[in-house]
Chain A
Amino acid sequence: MVKYTLKRLFYMVLTLFIIATITFFLMKLLPGSPLTNQERLSPEQQELILDKYGLNDPLPIQYVNYMTNLLKGDLGLSFQYDNRPVAQMIAERIGPSAELGFQAIVFGTIVGIILGLIAALKHNTIWDYTATTIAVLGISVPSFVFAGLLQYYFGVEWQWFPVASWEGFEYTILPTLSLSVFVIATVARYMRSELLEVLNSDYIMLARAKGVSAPVIMVKHALRNALIPIITLLGPLAVNIMTGSLVIERIFAIPGIGEQFVRSINTNDYTVIMGITLFYSVLFIAVVFIVDILYGIIDPRIRVSGGDRK
């Protein structure tokens, strides 16, 4: 296990290094400069400023400089937000995105599992059809439609919840709901099909034949097996959602990181593009790692290096 972990860690760092390198050079292919006043400056004035930031140096030198600073833990300063440290920006913006994402994932998973369970247990009844319809809707209707409807009815018409912005828990409810729709749908769909498959398998029949009670079969045998694909799914889904949804953050005026990322690309804010990309990568790599470990806990059959525990 230790050896395995070390090996994984090495690959994680390597992956990160490759991502950083590729992003750096791809980003430099973006046309234009990070200057916010670009269209107003004459070429000479642009040169003056680019010189000052070292952006006129040959690319390899810029790359080495950036990587050296990165190793020292320095993500640099933003161009778009004059002189604001990128690390501080990420730290400020990730909070709201992560909070929303976390709520949406937890809520979505719980509701999704319940829906999936109902659909599977009441297979081919009205319950099943209702749940399936909800799931299909959730996957196919884009979240901004839900967000817009929720905002209009719950915020403007009925005034149950605040329309937008970020000032406390009640402000998170509508965006959380909008975000969780996709989670609910995805989880419910997988839950239903997995559970159906498991429930029809031989060992469940055997358990039934042996007279094991229905709840025990459900919890101990069926659910546990059906959860494996869900966990595979949830890792990346969680990263996706917790790193911020551009659309939801725009609609509910949430100071999150998703919007920031898109904006940094549009404005050639090099340091912010790099910073957020690396941050996302670290999260993603870490989550994939955690998911691999979780597999082992849920299903001993796929425990990675076997051996040591037996």
Chain B
Amino acid sequence: MQKKKLSIFLVLMLTVSAILAACGGGSSNSSDSGQTSDNGGGENNVLNLTETQDIPSMDSSLATDVVSFDTLNSVMEGLYRLGEDDEAVEGMAEGEPQISEDGKTWTIKLRDANWSNGEPVTANDFVFAWRKTLNPDTAAEYAYIMYDLKNAAAVNAGEMAPEELGVKALDEKTLEIQLENPVPYFKELLTFATFYPQNEAYVTEQGDQFGLEANTVLYNGPFTMTEWKHEDQFVLQKNPEYWDAENVQLETVNTKIVKDTQTDVNLYESGELDSVKLSAEFVDKYKEEEGFHTVKEASVFFLRLNQSSNEVLKNADARKAIAMGFDKTGITDSLLNNGSVPANYLVPSEFVQGPDGKDFRETAGSYLETDQAVAAEHWAKAKEALGQDTVELELLSYDDDVSKKITEYLKEQLETNLEGLKVNIKLQPFKQKLDLESSMNYEASLAGWGPDYPDPMTFIDMFVTDGAHNQSGYSNPQVDKLVQDAKTTLLTDEQARWDALVEAEKLMLEDAAFAPVYQRARAYLTKPAVEGVLYHKFGANFSLKWTSVTR
């Protein structure tokens, strides 16, 4: 009886659906549904991925987010590109750059390479794109990443004409770059999307349409974008014009926009996807599955401790007590569960190597490790110095699920381990939280930071006195001095500079300028058929140039 009713119901639903299909017609039929069919998963060298949002920008001058960077990294190429272990390998540049004695002038030869319309890539394409990015009219949010170029800051502020920027085309295939200061990591920096070339004639011709559709961008990378249905999916195809096309094995990359992890997993289960990023709740289920792997990011999360207005946090003992008073593994192993590791540092591990070839973390120490007994001692001292028995502290955080869980955990841990402490949680939407932090209208706050360029400085100069991202009132003249030296006088002495950065990190952690919490990782489930995806720690998340799919 029940079954019969159900089947009648189903038949009814289907009938009505079919009728609707016939009269609806709708927009979906006009799109080419045949091409990217769901059994595309069966072919060799066809890769099916998802991103959690549509590409905000295909204009390399304007791109700021990781989805844009990922896509641009596949379809465009700068002078160099990130290869294995985040090393810069040849891109549009042929061979190594010629660097002047003082390290401030770089001369780079371009190879014979073409845009996807067959036009050659010239030195002027770089000059044009870089001037465009720094032109204040472009309002590029990543313009500051180019501030190492001579006159860049002045051009960006509108004080100098874009023509005065320190980059010029010596001839069609030779680019000369002038820097304000020698930059030890400049070759890697050149792999960043903001440094990509743009074809002047093409960009001018497209006008305000440039970068908005698949066919209003020129490509010079391993792939070209052949289809872009906004908020829905985009398709990359191997670029026959690419100079190194013989080493590119993937023929097609289909990327769907899927915002929900459960949906991602369901698509993976049904064979339509080759790789999914897992959130914590799915890790346990798939941990043992073939193809489960984690990728460490160069993002470090820490507690900002506002030392400018909060009497308690002005006290170094109180800060140390907080920094050492909670078990970090509870967060990384239970709450995140995705390969994240406890952080007893600011500069992430497996991020950069010194002149000696050693990871920064091998040279630098480990600080503020969890130690409840020592934390309690510091706490007792702090309470005595403050003359208070009970202390209330407000803990600010983002309002997403993960941050919420971490914040609740921190409250529980700190209240248990530090007697007399009461933590009040304040969850705020992303933008609101940023505002509260930059106006220093908070007490403690869970924050994260990822690198802009492959050098410890991108983390360390955050905490110089009155730095734009300090946002905690922390000030140590010794740290300021070391950072200043590392940015100027020590630039030509790599080892001394490296030592200065190690020392600066040590000083701020000994001061407990902030309380490090964890270094983030991502957990993936990837079909064994997929090989050669390179994951990166800065700029784009991954490279597909050397990827293959053999089913």
Residues in chain A within 8 A of chain B (CB atoms): 30-33, 35-45, 48-49, 52-53, 80-84, 89, 92-93, 95-96, 99, 102-103, 106-107, 110-111, 130, 148, 151-152, 155-156, 159, 162-169, 171-173, 176-177, 250-253, 255-256, 259-260, 263, 266-268
Contact = CB atoms under 8 A, between A and B. Distances in A.
Contacts of B37: 167
Contacts of B137: 52
Given A80-B56, A167-B28, A253-B257, A32 B263 contact: no
Interface centre among B17, B208, B435 (most CB of A within 10 A): B17
B157 A48 contact: yes
Interface of B: 5, 12-13, 16-17, 20-21, 24, 26-29, 31, 33, 36-38, 50, 53-54, 56-57, 59, 62-65, 136-137, 139, 141-144, 156-158, 208, 211-212, 229-233, 256-260, 262-263, 266-267, 269-270, 272, 429-432, 434-436, 438, 452, 468-469
Given A83-B62, A159-B270, A163-B267, A251 B262 contact: yes
6 contacts: A38-B434, A82-B56, A167-B37, A168-B29, A255-B232, A259-B259
Nearest to B17: A173
Nearest to B449: A39
Contacts of A31: 431-432, 435-436
A106 to B, nearest CB: 6
Contacts of A107: 13, 16-17, 20
A111 B13 contact: yes
B20 A106 contact: yes
Nearest to A81: B56
A125 to B, nearest CB: 14
Nearest to A92: B230
Given A52-B136, A83-B62, A253-B263, A164 B258 contact: yes
Given A92-B231, A156-B269, A176-B17, A164 B263 contact: yes
A80 B12 CA distance: 43
A247 B414 CA distance: 36
Contacts of B38: 162, 167
Q: Which of A48, A151, A256 has the most CB of B within 10 A?
A: A48
Contacts of A95: 26-27
Nearest to B209: A83
* Chain A CB within 10 Å, residue with most, of B27, B233, B263, B452: B263
A103 B17 contact: yes
A260 B452 CA distance: 28
Ordered nearest first, which 10 A-B pairs have the shortest CB separation?
A32-B431, A42-B468, A255-B231, A37-B141, A168-B33, A255-B232, A82-B57, A52-B139, A95-B27, A37-B64
A158 B455 CA distance: 51
Given A42-B144, A48-B157, A173-B17, A99 B24 contact: yes
A36 B65 contact: yes
Contact of A45 (B26, B36, B143, B229): B143
Nearest to B64: A37
Contacts of B434: 32, 38-39
B431 A38 contact: yes
Could you tell me the dominant secondary structure of chain A's interface residues? helix
Contact of A111 (B5, B12, B28, B64): B12
Contact of B263 (A41, A81, A102, A250): A250
Contacts of B31: 167-168
A78 B21 CA distance: 34
Contacts of B468: 41-43
Contacts of B269: 156
Contacts of B53: 263
A32 B431 CA distance: 5
B147 to A, nearest CB: 10
A10 B16 CA distance: 40
Contacts of B20: 103, 106-107
B141 A36 contact: yes
Given A37-B142, A43-B468, A268-B431, A252 B263 contact: yes
Given A43-B468, A48-B139, A253-B260, 9 more contacts: A32-B435, A40-B452, A96-B27, A164-B263, A165-B267, A169-B29, A252-B263, A266-B429, A266-B430
Contact of A155 (B21, B64, B156, B266): B266
A171 B28 contact: yes
Nearest to B22: A169
B40 to A, nearest CB: 11
Contacts of B50: 253
B28 A166 contact: yes
A177 B123 CA distance: 56
B266 A163 contact: yes
A191 B159 CA distance: 71
A36 B533 CA distance: 27
A253 B56 contact: no
Contact of B59 (A36, A39, A82, A253): A82
A236 B272 CA distance: 37
B231 A111 contact: no
Contacts of B59: 82-83
Nearest to A43: B468
Nearest to A102: B24
Nearest to A103: B20
B266 A82 contact: no
Contacts of A81: 54, 56-57
A93 B54 CA distance: 12
A45 B144 contact: yes
Given A30-B431, A163-B266, A260-B231, A35 B141 contact: yes
B266 A165 contact: no
B26 A99 contact: yes
B12 to A, nearest CB: 7
A43 B62 CA distance: 19
Among A84, A155, A176, A253, max chain B CB count under 10 A is at A253
B270 A166 contact: no
Contacts of B432: 31-32
A156 B38 CA distance: 13
